Chains A and B, each alone.
Chain A
Amino acid sequence: MKYMLLINAGAVDENGGAEGCAPEDWMVYDKEVREAGILVSGESLANLVTATTVRVSPEGERTVTDGPFAESREVLGGFYVLDVPNLDVALDWAARCPGARGSGSVVVRPIADFGA
Protein backbone atom coordinates (compact mmCIF):
# COMPACT_ATOMS: atom_id res chain seq x y z
CA MET A 1 0.00 0.00 0.00
CA LYS A 2 1.29 3.43 -0.93
CA TYR A 3 1.48 6.31 1.50
CA MET A 4 2.44 9.91 0.83
CA LEU A 5 4.55 11.61 3.45
CA LEU A 6 3.87 15.34 3.21
CA ILE A 7 6.77 17.13 4.81
CA ASN A 8 5.79 20.39 6.44
CA ALA A 9 8.98 22.15 7.22
CA GLY A 10 9.54 24.92 9.69
CA ALA A 11 11.83 27.80 8.81
CA VAL A 12 14.69 26.74 6.54
CA ASP A 13 18.15 28.30 6.93
CA GLU A 14 20.41 29.43 4.10
CA ASN A 15 22.07 26.00 3.88
CA GLY A 16 18.74 24.29 3.28
CA GLY A 17 18.73 22.77 6.76
CA ALA A 18 15.80 23.20 9.12
CA GLU A 19 15.68 23.16 12.91
CA GLY A 20 16.99 19.86 14.27
CA CYS A 21 18.32 18.51 10.99
CA ALA A 22 21.14 19.19 8.57
CA PRO A 23 21.26 18.47 4.81
CA GLU A 24 23.32 15.35 5.63
CA ASP A 25 20.35 14.01 7.64
CA TRP A 26 18.20 14.24 4.53
CA MET A 27 20.83 12.45 2.46
CA VAL A 28 21.00 9.65 5.02
CA TYR A 29 17.21 9.32 5.13
CA ASP A 30 16.96 9.37 1.35
CA LYS A 31 19.53 6.57 1.14
CA GLU A 32 17.63 4.56 3.76
CA VAL A 33 14.30 4.62 1.96
CA ARG A 34 16.00 3.71 -1.32
CA GLU A 35 17.88 0.81 0.21
CA ALA A 36 14.76 -0.45 2.00
CA GLY A 37 13.22 -0.82 -1.45
CA ILE A 38 10.09 1.12 -0.48
CA LEU A 39 10.67 4.40 -2.33
CA VAL A 40 8.12 5.10 -5.05
CA SER A 41 9.01 8.74 -5.53
CA GLY A 42 10.00 11.79 -3.61
CA GLU A 43 10.84 15.40 -4.29
CA SER A 44 11.88 18.45 -2.44
CA LEU A 45 9.87 21.52 -3.40
CA ALA A 46 11.52 24.80 -4.37
CA ASN A 47 11.07 27.86 -2.20
CA LEU A 48 7.48 28.82 -1.46
CA VAL A 49 7.86 32.28 -3.06
CA THR A 50 8.03 30.52 -6.43
CA ALA A 51 4.51 29.09 -6.07
CA THR A 52 1.93 30.03 -8.69
CA THR A 53 -1.79 29.25 -8.78
CA VAL A 54 -3.85 28.56 -11.91
CA ARG A 55 -7.66 28.66 -11.99
CA VAL A 56 -10.05 28.16 -14.90
CA SER A 57 -13.48 29.83 -14.74
CA PRO A 58 -16.68 28.16 -16.05
CA GLU A 59 -16.26 30.27 -19.19
CA GLY A 60 -12.86 28.75 -19.75
CA GLU A 61 -10.98 31.85 -18.80
CA ARG A 62 -7.63 31.23 -17.25
CA THR A 63 -6.29 33.27 -14.33
CA VAL A 64 -2.81 32.97 -12.99
CA THR A 65 -1.88 34.40 -9.62
CA ASP A 66 1.14 34.53 -7.43
CA GLY A 67 1.06 32.28 -4.35
CA PRO A 68 -0.67 31.20 -2.26
CA PHE A 69 1.60 31.74 0.67
CA ALA A 70 0.34 30.01 3.76
CA GLU A 71 -0.08 32.12 6.87
CA SER A 72 1.24 29.32 9.04
CA ARG A 73 4.88 28.92 9.89
CA GLU A 74 4.90 25.44 8.43
CA VAL A 75 4.89 25.05 4.68
CA LEU A 76 4.85 22.00 2.45
CA GLY A 77 8.49 21.54 1.61
CA GLY A 78 8.55 18.18 -0.08
CA PHE A 79 7.13 14.70 -0.17
CA TYR A 80 7.91 11.04 -0.30
CA VAL A 81 5.70 8.30 -1.67
CA LEU A 82 6.55 5.02 0.05
CA ASP A 83 5.17 1.54 -0.56
CA VAL A 84 4.87 -0.23 2.80
CA PRO A 85 2.49 -2.86 4.23
CA ASN A 86 0.48 -0.75 6.69
CA LEU A 87 0.03 2.54 8.52
CA ASP A 88 2.28 1.60 11.43
CA VAL A 89 5.22 1.02 9.10
CA ALA A 90 4.46 4.30 7.28
CA LEU A 91 4.34 6.11 10.64
CA ASP A 92 7.70 4.61 11.62
CA TRP A 93 9.28 5.94 8.42
CA ALA A 94 7.61 9.31 8.95
CA ALA A 95 9.05 9.45 12.46
CA ARG A 96 12.55 8.83 11.09
CA CYS A 97 12.18 11.59 8.51
CA PRO A 98 14.31 14.65 9.41
CA GLY A 99 11.34 16.83 8.45
CA ALA A 100 9.43 15.59 11.52
CA ARG A 101 11.93 17.16 13.91
CA GLY A 102 11.98 20.58 15.50
CA SER A 103 9.03 22.67 14.40
CA GLY A 104 8.47 20.48 11.35
CA SER A 105 5.83 17.76 10.93
CA VAL A 106 5.04 14.98 8.52
CA VAL A 107 1.46 14.24 7.49
CA VAL A 108 0.88 10.66 6.35
CA ARG A 109 -1.83 10.13 3.73
CA PRO A 110 -2.69 6.78 2.18
CA ILE A 111 -2.86 6.96 -1.60
CA ALA A 112 -6.24 6.00 -3.01
CA ASP A 113 -6.32 2.68 -4.79
CA PHE A 114 -8.90 2.54 -7.57
CA GLY A 115 -8.14 -1.10 -8.18
CA ALA A 116 -6.35 -0.45 -11.48
Chain B
Amino acid sequence: MNAEFPATEASSLVDTVFREEHGRLLASLVSRFGDLDLAEEVTSEAVEAALTHWPRQGVPDRPGAWLLTTARRKAVDRLRRDRTLALRVAVLQAELERTELVAPSSEVSDFPDERLQLFFTCAHPALPAEARGALTLRCLAGLTTLEVARAYLVPPAAMAQRIVRAKKKIREARIPFRVPASDELPARLPGVLQVIYSIFTEGYAASSGATLQRLDLADEAIRLAWILHRLMPAEREVTGLLALMLLIHARRDARTGPSEELILLQDQDRNLWDRELIDDGQRLVVQSLSGGPAGPYGVQAAIAALHDNADDFTTTDWPQIVALYGVLLALDPSPVVAMNRAIAIAMRDGAQAGLELLDELAAEPRLREYHPYAVARADLLARLGRRDEAETAYLRALRLAGTDPERNHIRRRLTAISTDVDEQ
Protein backbone atom coordinates (compact mmCIF):
# COMPACT_ATOMS: atom_id res chain seq x y z
CA MET B 1 0.00 0.00 0.00
CA ASN B 2 1.14 3.47 -0.78
CA ALA B 3 -0.11 6.07 1.68
CA GLU B 4 1.07 8.92 -0.53
CA PHE B 5 -1.10 7.83 -3.42
CA PRO B 6 -2.35 10.99 -5.15
CA ALA B 7 -6.12 11.37 -5.14
CA THR B 8 -6.44 11.86 -8.88
CA GLU B 9 -4.47 8.73 -9.64
CA ALA B 10 -6.55 6.75 -7.16
CA SER B 11 -9.73 7.94 -8.78
CA SER B 12 -8.50 7.11 -12.25
CA LEU B 13 -7.53 3.69 -10.93
CA VAL B 14 -11.06 3.27 -9.56
CA ASP B 15 -12.25 4.06 -13.06
CA THR B 16 -10.03 1.43 -14.62
CA VAL B 17 -10.84 -1.17 -12.00
CA PHE B 18 -14.51 -0.35 -12.31
CA ARG B 19 -14.48 -0.84 -16.07
CA GLU B 20 -12.53 -4.05 -15.81
CA GLU B 21 -14.30 -5.52 -12.81
CA HIS B 22 -17.82 -4.12 -12.93
CA GLY B 23 -19.43 -6.99 -14.83
CA ARG B 24 -17.63 -9.63 -12.79
CA LEU B 25 -18.42 -7.91 -9.51
CA LEU B 26 -22.07 -7.53 -10.41
CA ALA B 27 -22.38 -11.09 -11.71
CA SER B 28 -20.83 -12.47 -8.56
CA LEU B 29 -23.17 -10.46 -6.33
CA VAL B 30 -26.23 -11.38 -8.37
CA SER B 31 -25.39 -15.04 -8.16
CA ARG B 32 -24.89 -14.71 -4.40
CA PHE B 33 -27.94 -12.59 -3.60
CA GLY B 34 -30.21 -13.32 -6.56
CA ASP B 35 -31.23 -9.68 -6.81
CA LEU B 36 -30.02 -7.49 -9.65
CA ASP B 37 -31.09 -4.20 -8.09
CA LEU B 38 -29.41 -4.93 -4.78
CA ALA B 39 -26.28 -6.04 -6.62
CA GLU B 40 -26.19 -2.82 -8.64
CA GLU B 41 -26.70 -0.62 -5.60
CA VAL B 42 -23.96 -2.21 -3.52
CA THR B 43 -21.62 -2.26 -6.51
CA SER B 44 -21.86 1.50 -6.82
CA GLU B 45 -21.62 1.93 -3.04
CA ALA B 46 -18.43 -0.11 -3.06
CA VAL B 47 -17.01 2.10 -5.79
CA GLU B 48 -17.92 5.20 -3.79
CA ALA B 49 -16.18 3.70 -0.76
CA ALA B 50 -13.10 3.06 -2.89
CA LEU B 51 -13.10 6.68 -4.02
CA THR B 52 -13.04 7.83 -0.37
CA HIS B 53 -10.63 5.27 1.03
CA TRP B 54 -8.07 4.62 -1.65
CA PRO B 55 -6.77 8.19 -1.94
CA ARG B 56 -6.21 8.24 1.84
CA GLN B 57 -5.16 4.68 2.61
CA GLY B 58 -3.65 3.67 -0.67
CA VAL B 59 -4.87 1.27 -3.29
CA PRO B 60 -5.18 -2.34 -2.09
CA ASP B 61 -3.14 -5.07 -3.77
CA ARG B 62 -6.22 -6.71 -5.22
CA PRO B 63 -8.61 -3.86 -5.99
CA GLY B 64 -11.24 -6.15 -7.50
CA ALA B 65 -11.34 -8.38 -4.44
CA TRP B 66 -11.46 -5.33 -2.15
CA LEU B 67 -14.51 -4.06 -4.06
CA LEU B 68 -16.20 -7.45 -3.90
CA THR B 69 -15.70 -7.84 -0.15
CA THR B 70 -16.89 -4.28 0.48
CA ALA B 71 -19.94 -4.76 -1.73
CA ARG B 72 -20.84 -8.02 0.00
CA ARG B 73 -20.64 -6.41 3.44
CA LYS B 74 -22.90 -3.63 2.24
CA ALA B 75 -25.37 -6.13 0.82
CA VAL B 76 -25.52 -7.97 4.13
CA ASP B 77 -26.05 -4.63 5.94
CA ARG B 78 -28.89 -3.75 3.64
CA LEU B 79 -30.55 -7.12 4.01
CA ARG B 80 -30.19 -6.97 7.78
CA ARG B 81 -32.30 -3.80 7.78
CA ASP B 82 -35.03 -5.85 6.19
CA ARG B 83 -36.27 -7.89 9.15
CA THR B 84 -38.23 -10.35 7.06
CA LEU B 85 -34.94 -11.60 5.68
CA ALA B 86 -33.35 -12.22 9.07
CA LEU B 87 -32.81 -15.91 8.53
CA ARG B 88 -31.24 -15.47 5.12
CA VAL B 89 -28.96 -12.79 6.50
CA ALA B 90 -27.68 -15.09 9.24
CA VAL B 91 -26.67 -17.66 6.64
CA LEU B 92 -25.02 -15.03 4.43
CA GLN B 93 -23.22 -13.46 7.38
CA ALA B 94 -21.79 -16.81 8.43
CA GLU B 95 -20.69 -17.48 4.88
CA LEU B 96 -19.09 -14.06 4.57
CA GLU B 97 -17.13 -14.52 7.81
CA ARG B 98 -15.99 -17.95 6.77
CA THR B 99 -14.70 -16.84 3.36
CA GLU B 100 -12.86 -13.95 4.98
CA LEU B 101 -11.26 -16.31 7.46
CA VAL B 102 -10.14 -18.70 4.77
CA ALA B 103 -8.69 -15.96 2.63
CA PRO B 104 -7.76 -13.17 5.03
CA SER B 105 -7.77 -9.65 3.61
CA SER B 106 -8.26 -10.90 0.11
CA GLU B 107 -11.08 -12.61 -1.69
CA VAL B 108 -8.47 -14.11 -4.03
CA SER B 109 -8.17 -11.92 -7.08
CA ASP B 110 -9.43 -14.69 -9.30
CA PHE B 111 -12.83 -15.00 -7.68
CA PRO B 112 -15.20 -17.16 -9.74
CA ASP B 113 -16.33 -15.47 -12.91
CA GLU B 114 -20.08 -15.55 -13.09
CA ARG B 115 -20.42 -13.13 -15.99
CA LEU B 116 -21.55 -15.91 -18.33
CA GLN B 117 -24.76 -16.29 -16.32
CA LEU B 118 -25.33 -12.57 -16.55
CA PHE B 119 -24.88 -12.61 -20.35
CA PHE B 120 -27.64 -15.20 -20.66
CA THR B 121 -29.90 -13.38 -18.24
CA CYS B 122 -29.57 -10.02 -20.01
CA ALA B 123 -30.22 -11.67 -23.39
CA HIS B 124 -33.11 -13.84 -22.19
CA PRO B 125 -35.75 -14.23 -24.91
CA ALA B 126 -38.48 -13.43 -22.36
CA LEU B 127 -37.18 -9.83 -22.26
CA PRO B 128 -38.18 -7.31 -24.92
CA ALA B 129 -35.60 -7.17 -27.72
CA GLU B 130 -34.93 -3.44 -27.26
CA ALA B 131 -34.12 -3.94 -23.58
CA ARG B 132 -31.59 -6.73 -24.05
CA GLY B 133 -28.80 -4.63 -25.53
CA ALA B 134 -29.42 -1.85 -23.01
CA LEU B 135 -29.33 -4.25 -20.08
CA THR B 136 -26.16 -5.92 -21.36
CA LEU B 137 -24.42 -2.54 -21.65
CA ARG B 138 -25.68 -1.53 -18.22
CA CYS B 139 -24.78 -4.73 -16.36
CA LEU B 140 -21.84 -6.23 -18.21
CA ALA B 141 -20.15 -3.17 -19.67
CA GLY B 142 -20.93 -1.00 -16.64
CA LEU B 143 -22.37 1.91 -18.61
CA THR B 144 -24.67 4.27 -16.74
CA THR B 145 -28.30 4.53 -17.79
CA LEU B 146 -27.51 7.99 -19.17
CA GLU B 147 -24.69 6.61 -21.30
CA VAL B 148 -26.88 3.78 -22.56
CA ALA B 149 -29.61 6.29 -23.44
CA ARG B 150 -27.14 8.47 -25.33
CA ALA B 151 -25.78 5.46 -27.18
CA TYR B 152 -29.21 4.40 -28.41
CA LEU B 153 -30.36 7.99 -29.01
CA VAL B 154 -33.29 7.44 -26.66
CA PRO B 155 -34.40 10.04 -24.06
CA PRO B 156 -32.81 9.15 -20.68
CA ALA B 157 -36.19 8.86 -18.94
CA ALA B 158 -37.44 6.41 -21.56
CA MET B 159 -34.26 4.37 -21.31
CA ALA B 160 -34.44 4.34 -17.51
CA GLN B 161 -37.99 3.06 -17.73
CA ARG B 162 -37.02 0.38 -20.24
CA ILE B 163 -34.23 -0.86 -17.95
CA VAL B 164 -36.39 -0.72 -14.82
CA ARG B 165 -39.12 -2.71 -16.56
CA ALA B 166 -36.68 -5.36 -17.75
CA LYS B 167 -35.16 -5.71 -14.27
CA LYS B 168 -38.63 -5.95 -12.79
CA LYS B 169 -39.51 -8.76 -15.15
CA ILE B 170 -36.29 -10.60 -14.27
CA ARG B 171 -37.15 -10.32 -10.60
CA GLU B 172 -40.90 -10.89 -10.62
CA ALA B 173 -41.19 -13.51 -13.35
CA ARG B 174 -38.08 -15.08 -11.83
CA ILE B 175 -35.87 -15.32 -14.86
CA PRO B 176 -33.05 -17.46 -13.50
CA PHE B 177 -29.37 -16.46 -13.43
CA ARG B 178 -27.91 -19.49 -15.09
CA VAL B 179 -25.98 -20.78 -18.05
CA PRO B 180 -28.25 -22.93 -20.21
CA ALA B 181 -27.50 -26.65 -20.20
CA SER B 182 -25.53 -27.91 -23.20
CA ASP B 183 -28.67 -29.23 -24.90
CA GLU B 184 -30.32 -25.79 -24.66
CA LEU B 185 -27.22 -23.86 -25.63
CA PRO B 186 -27.72 -24.02 -29.43
CA ALA B 187 -31.09 -22.34 -28.94
CA ARG B 188 -29.95 -19.69 -26.45
CA LEU B 189 -26.43 -18.69 -27.48
CA PRO B 190 -27.48 -17.07 -30.79
CA GLY B 191 -29.60 -14.65 -28.75
CA VAL B 192 -26.57 -13.52 -26.75
CA LEU B 193 -24.49 -13.14 -29.92
CA GLN B 194 -27.33 -11.22 -31.57
CA VAL B 195 -27.39 -8.76 -28.66
CA ILE B 196 -23.65 -8.11 -28.92
CA TYR B 197 -23.77 -7.79 -32.69
CA SER B 198 -26.71 -5.41 -32.56
CA ILE B 199 -24.80 -3.22 -30.06
CA PHE B 200 -21.95 -3.22 -32.56
CA THR B 201 -24.09 -2.36 -35.59
CA GLU B 202 -25.90 0.31 -33.58
CA GLY B 203 -22.52 1.95 -33.05
CA TYR B 204 -21.39 1.26 -36.56
CA ALA B 205 -24.29 2.32 -38.72
CA ALA B 206 -24.25 5.64 -36.93
CA SER B 207 -20.55 6.45 -37.21
CA SER B 208 -21.72 9.22 -39.51
CA GLY B 209 -24.04 10.78 -36.93
CA ALA B 210 -22.94 11.79 -33.45
CA THR B 211 -19.56 10.25 -34.10
CA LEU B 212 -17.39 9.49 -31.06
CA GLN B 213 -20.04 8.19 -28.73
CA ARG B 214 -21.19 5.60 -31.20
CA LEU B 215 -17.71 4.34 -32.02
CA ASP B 216 -17.44 3.77 -28.27
CA LEU B 217 -20.45 1.53 -28.65
CA ALA B 218 -18.66 -0.59 -31.27
CA ASP B 219 -15.67 -0.78 -28.91
CA GLU B 220 -17.98 -1.86 -26.06
CA ALA B 221 -19.46 -4.63 -28.23
CA ILE B 222 -15.97 -5.87 -29.06
CA ARG B 223 -14.98 -5.78 -25.39
CA LEU B 224 -18.08 -7.80 -24.49
CA ALA B 225 -17.31 -10.31 -27.24
CA TRP B 226 -13.75 -10.71 -25.93
CA ILE B 227 -15.14 -11.46 -22.46
CA LEU B 228 -17.61 -13.96 -23.88
CA HIS B 229 -14.87 -15.55 -25.99
CA ARG B 230 -12.67 -16.01 -22.91
CA LEU B 231 -15.60 -17.51 -21.00
CA MET B 232 -16.59 -19.84 -23.86
CA PRO B 233 -13.39 -20.47 -25.85
CA ALA B 234 -14.78 -23.64 -27.43
CA GLU B 235 -17.89 -21.98 -28.89
CA ARG B 236 -16.83 -21.33 -32.46
CA GLU B 237 -19.61 -18.91 -33.30
CA VAL B 238 -18.53 -16.69 -30.38
CA THR B 239 -15.05 -16.69 -31.90
CA GLY B 240 -16.56 -16.04 -35.34
CA LEU B 241 -18.56 -13.05 -34.14
CA LEU B 242 -15.54 -11.54 -32.39
CA ALA B 243 -13.47 -12.03 -35.56
CA LEU B 244 -16.19 -10.48 -37.72
CA MET B 245 -16.42 -7.36 -35.57
CA LEU B 246 -12.64 -6.92 -35.38
CA LEU B 247 -12.30 -7.26 -39.15
CA ILE B 248 -15.03 -4.69 -39.80
CA HIS B 249 -13.87 -2.34 -37.05
CA ALA B 250 -10.34 -2.42 -38.50
CA ARG B 251 -11.66 -0.24 -41.36
CA ARG B 252 -13.26 2.40 -39.14
CA ASP B 253 -10.82 5.23 -39.90
CA ALA B 254 -11.19 4.72 -43.64
CA ARG B 255 -14.99 4.52 -43.61
CA THR B 256 -15.71 8.21 -43.47
CA GLY B 257 -14.23 11.25 -45.15
CA PRO B 258 -13.31 14.63 -43.67
CA SER B 259 -16.93 15.82 -43.62
CA GLU B 260 -18.25 12.54 -42.19
CA GLU B 261 -19.32 11.30 -45.60
CA LEU B 262 -19.54 7.57 -46.12
CA ILE B 263 -16.67 6.01 -48.09
CA LEU B 264 -17.41 2.63 -49.62
CA LEU B 265 -15.07 -0.32 -49.34
CA GLN B 266 -13.95 0.08 -52.97
CA ASP B 267 -12.87 3.69 -52.41
CA GLN B 268 -11.27 3.37 -48.97
CA ASP B 269 -7.62 4.20 -48.30
CA ARG B 270 -6.43 0.78 -47.19
CA ASN B 271 -3.39 2.28 -45.45
CA LEU B 272 -5.80 3.56 -42.81
CA TRP B 273 -6.94 0.06 -41.92
CA ASP B 274 -5.87 -1.19 -38.50
CA ARG B 275 -3.42 -4.03 -39.16
CA GLU B 276 -3.38 -5.16 -35.55
CA LEU B 277 -7.15 -5.73 -35.49
CA ILE B 278 -6.97 -7.47 -38.86
CA ASP B 279 -4.27 -9.83 -37.57
CA ASP B 280 -6.31 -10.63 -34.45
CA GLY B 281 -9.43 -11.12 -36.56
CA GLN B 282 -7.69 -13.42 -39.02
CA ARG B 283 -6.25 -15.58 -36.26
CA LEU B 284 -9.74 -15.91 -34.76
CA VAL B 285 -11.41 -16.66 -38.11
CA VAL B 286 -9.18 -19.68 -38.53
CA GLN B 287 -10.18 -20.86 -35.05
CA SER B 288 -13.87 -20.36 -35.72
CA LEU B 289 -13.76 -22.32 -38.97
CA SER B 290 -11.74 -25.26 -37.65
CA GLY B 291 -13.07 -28.44 -36.15
CA GLY B 292 -16.58 -28.69 -37.52
CA PRO B 293 -19.14 -27.16 -39.84
CA ALA B 294 -18.96 -23.37 -40.03
CA GLY B 295 -21.61 -21.11 -38.52
CA PRO B 296 -22.97 -17.90 -40.09
CA TYR B 297 -20.74 -15.52 -38.06
CA GLY B 298 -17.63 -17.55 -38.92
CA VAL B 299 -18.47 -17.45 -42.64
CA GLN B 300 -19.19 -13.72 -42.57
CA ALA B 301 -15.90 -13.19 -40.75
CA ALA B 302 -14.11 -15.21 -43.45
CA ILE B 303 -15.62 -12.93 -46.11
CA ALA B 304 -14.53 -9.85 -44.15
CA ALA B 305 -11.04 -11.35 -43.81
CA LEU B 306 -10.73 -11.75 -47.59
CA HIS B 307 -11.69 -8.10 -48.08
CA ASP B 308 -9.20 -6.98 -45.43
CA ASN B 309 -6.47 -9.07 -47.06
CA ALA B 310 -6.80 -7.64 -50.55
CA ASP B 311 -4.49 -4.91 -51.85
CA ASP B 312 -7.38 -3.25 -53.64
CA PHE B 313 -11.00 -3.83 -54.53
CA THR B 314 -10.49 -5.38 -57.98
CA THR B 315 -7.81 -7.87 -56.93
CA THR B 316 -9.96 -9.11 -54.03
CA ASP B 317 -10.41 -12.90 -54.09
CA TRP B 318 -13.92 -12.74 -55.57
CA PRO B 319 -14.22 -16.44 -56.50
CA GLN B 320 -13.57 -17.33 -52.86
CA ILE B 321 -16.03 -14.69 -51.65
CA VAL B 322 -18.72 -15.99 -54.02
CA ALA B 323 -18.13 -19.51 -52.67
CA LEU B 324 -18.43 -18.28 -49.07
CA TYR B 325 -21.67 -16.46 -49.87
CA GLY B 326 -22.91 -19.77 -51.25
CA VAL B 327 -22.14 -21.41 -47.89
CA LEU B 328 -23.77 -18.52 -46.05
CA LEU B 329 -26.87 -18.74 -48.21
CA ALA B 330 -27.24 -22.41 -47.29
CA LEU B 331 -27.01 -21.51 -43.58
CA ASP B 332 -29.20 -18.42 -43.84
CA PRO B 333 -31.33 -18.48 -47.01
CA SER B 334 -32.36 -14.81 -46.77
CA PRO B 335 -32.83 -12.48 -49.75
CA VAL B 336 -30.23 -10.07 -48.32
CA VAL B 337 -27.57 -12.80 -48.40
CA ALA B 338 -28.68 -13.73 -51.94
CA MET B 339 -28.34 -10.06 -52.90
CA ASN B 340 -24.79 -9.85 -51.53
CA ARG B 341 -23.89 -13.02 -53.36
CA ALA B 342 -25.18 -11.50 -56.60
CA ILE B 343 -22.97 -8.42 -56.05
CA ALA B 344 -19.93 -10.67 -55.50
CA ILE B 345 -20.81 -12.59 -58.67
CA ALA B 346 -20.91 -9.28 -60.53
CA MET B 347 -17.32 -8.72 -59.40
CA ARG B 348 -16.27 -12.21 -60.45
CA ASP B 349 -18.22 -12.69 -63.70
CA GLY B 350 -19.13 -9.16 -64.75
CA ALA B 351 -21.99 -6.73 -64.22
CA GLN B 352 -24.41 -8.51 -66.56
CA ALA B 353 -24.27 -11.79 -64.58
CA GLY B 354 -24.81 -9.92 -61.31
CA LEU B 355 -27.68 -7.86 -62.68
CA GLU B 356 -29.52 -10.95 -63.90
CA LEU B 357 -29.32 -12.46 -60.43
CA LEU B 358 -30.45 -9.22 -58.81
CA ASP B 359 -33.42 -9.00 -61.17
CA GLU B 360 -34.42 -12.53 -60.18
CA LEU B 361 -34.70 -11.23 -56.61
CA ALA B 362 -36.86 -8.24 -57.58
CA ALA B 363 -40.06 -9.85 -56.28
CA GLU B 364 -38.66 -10.49 -52.78
CA PRO B 365 -40.80 -8.45 -50.35
CA ARG B 366 -37.83 -7.79 -48.08
CA LEU B 367 -35.80 -6.24 -50.91
CA ARG B 368 -38.52 -4.16 -52.54
CA GLU B 369 -38.12 -1.29 -50.06
CA TYR B 370 -34.47 -1.99 -49.22
CA HIS B 371 -32.32 0.84 -50.54
CA PRO B 372 -29.03 -1.12 -50.75
CA TYR B 373 -30.78 -3.36 -53.27
CA ALA B 374 -31.80 -0.35 -55.37
CA VAL B 375 -28.26 1.07 -55.12
CA ALA B 376 -26.66 -2.24 -56.12
CA ARG B 377 -28.93 -2.52 -59.15
CA ALA B 378 -28.26 1.08 -60.12
CA ASP B 379 -24.50 0.56 -59.81
CA LEU B 380 -24.57 -2.46 -62.11
CA LEU B 381 -26.78 -0.67 -64.64
CA ALA B 382 -24.32 2.23 -64.57
CA ARG B 383 -21.41 -0.14 -65.11
CA LEU B 384 -23.20 -1.57 -68.14
CA GLY B 385 -23.67 1.95 -69.50
CA ARG B 386 -27.48 1.76 -69.24
CA ARG B 387 -27.57 5.33 -68.02
CA ASP B 388 -31.33 6.06 -68.07
CA GLU B 389 -32.21 2.89 -66.20
CA ALA B 390 -29.40 3.54 -63.73
CA GLU B 391 -30.74 7.03 -63.10
CA THR B 392 -34.25 5.70 -62.44
CA ALA B 393 -32.81 3.11 -60.04
CA TYR B 394 -30.71 5.73 -58.20
CA LEU B 395 -33.76 7.97 -57.84
CA ARG B 396 -35.67 5.07 -56.37
CA ALA B 397 -32.79 4.37 -53.96
CA LEU B 398 -32.81 8.05 -53.01
CA ARG B 399 -36.46 7.80 -51.97
CA LEU B 400 -35.82 4.66 -49.92
CA ALA B 401 -32.62 5.75 -48.13
CA GLY B 402 -33.15 6.72 -44.52
CA THR B 403 -30.22 8.93 -43.56
CA ASP B 404 -28.49 11.98 -44.99
CA PRO B 405 -25.08 10.39 -45.52
CA GLU B 406 -26.73 7.60 -47.49
CA ARG B 407 -28.74 10.07 -49.57
CA ASN B 408 -25.65 12.20 -50.21
CA HIS B 409 -23.78 9.14 -51.33
CA ILE B 410 -26.53 8.26 -53.84
CA ARG B 411 -26.60 11.87 -55.09
CA ARG B 412 -22.86 11.69 -55.76
CA ARG B 413 -23.42 8.53 -57.78
CA LEU B 414 -26.16 10.25 -59.76
CA THR B 415 -23.88 13.17 -60.54
CA ALA B 416 -21.08 10.77 -61.48
CA ILE B 417 -23.12 8.97 -64.12
CA SER B 418 -24.21 12.20 -65.79
CA THR B 419 -20.59 13.47 -65.85
CA ASP B 420 -19.43 10.18 -67.33
CA VAL B 421 -21.83 10.66 -70.21
CA ASP B 422 -20.81 14.30 -70.71
CA GLU B 423 -17.19 13.24 -70.93
CA GLN B 424 -17.86 10.65 -73.60
Contact = CB atoms under 8 A, between A and B. Distances in A.
Interface of A: 1, 85-88, 91, 108, 110, 115
A110 B173 contact: yes
A110 B126 contact: no
A88 B178 contact: yes
B96 to A, nearest CB: 25
Given A85-B174, A86-B175, A110-B174, 13 more contacts: A1-B174, A86-B174, A86-B176, A87-B126, A87-B173, A87-B174, A87-B175, A88-B175, A88-B178, A91-B126, A108-B173, A110-B172, A110-B173
Most buried by B among A1, A87, A108, A110: A87
Interface string B157-192: 000000000000000111110100000000000000
Contacts of A87: 126, 173-176
Nearest to B175: A87
Interface residues of B, number: 8
A63 B174 CA distance: 39
Most buried by A among B84, B174, B175: B174
Contacts of A86: 174-176
A1 B172 CA distance: 10
A91 B178 CA distance: 15
Contacts of B175: 86-88
A87 B175 CA distance: 5
Contacts of B126: 87, 91
13 contacts: A1-B174, A85-B174, A86-B174, A86-B176, A87-B126, A87-B174, A87-B176, A88-B175, A88-B176, A88-B178, A91-B126, A108-B173, A115-B84
A1 B173 CA distance: 9
A1 B174 CA distance: 8
Nearest to A89: B176
A1 B126 CA distance: 17
A88 B174 CA distance: 8
A115 B174 CA distance: 15
A91 B184 CA distance: 12
A1 B21 CA distance: 33
Most buried by B among A1, A85, A88: A88
Contacts of A108: 173
Contacts of B173: 87, 108, 110
What 5 pairs between A and B have smallest CB-CB spacing? A86-B176, A86-B174, A110-B173, A87-B173, A87-B175
Contacts of B176: 85-88
Contacts of A1: 174
Contacts of B172: 110
B268 to A, nearest CB: 45
A108 B126 CA distance: 10
Most buried by B among A85, A91, A108, A115: A91
Interface in B101-132: 126
A88 B172 CA distance: 13
A108 B175 CA distance: 12
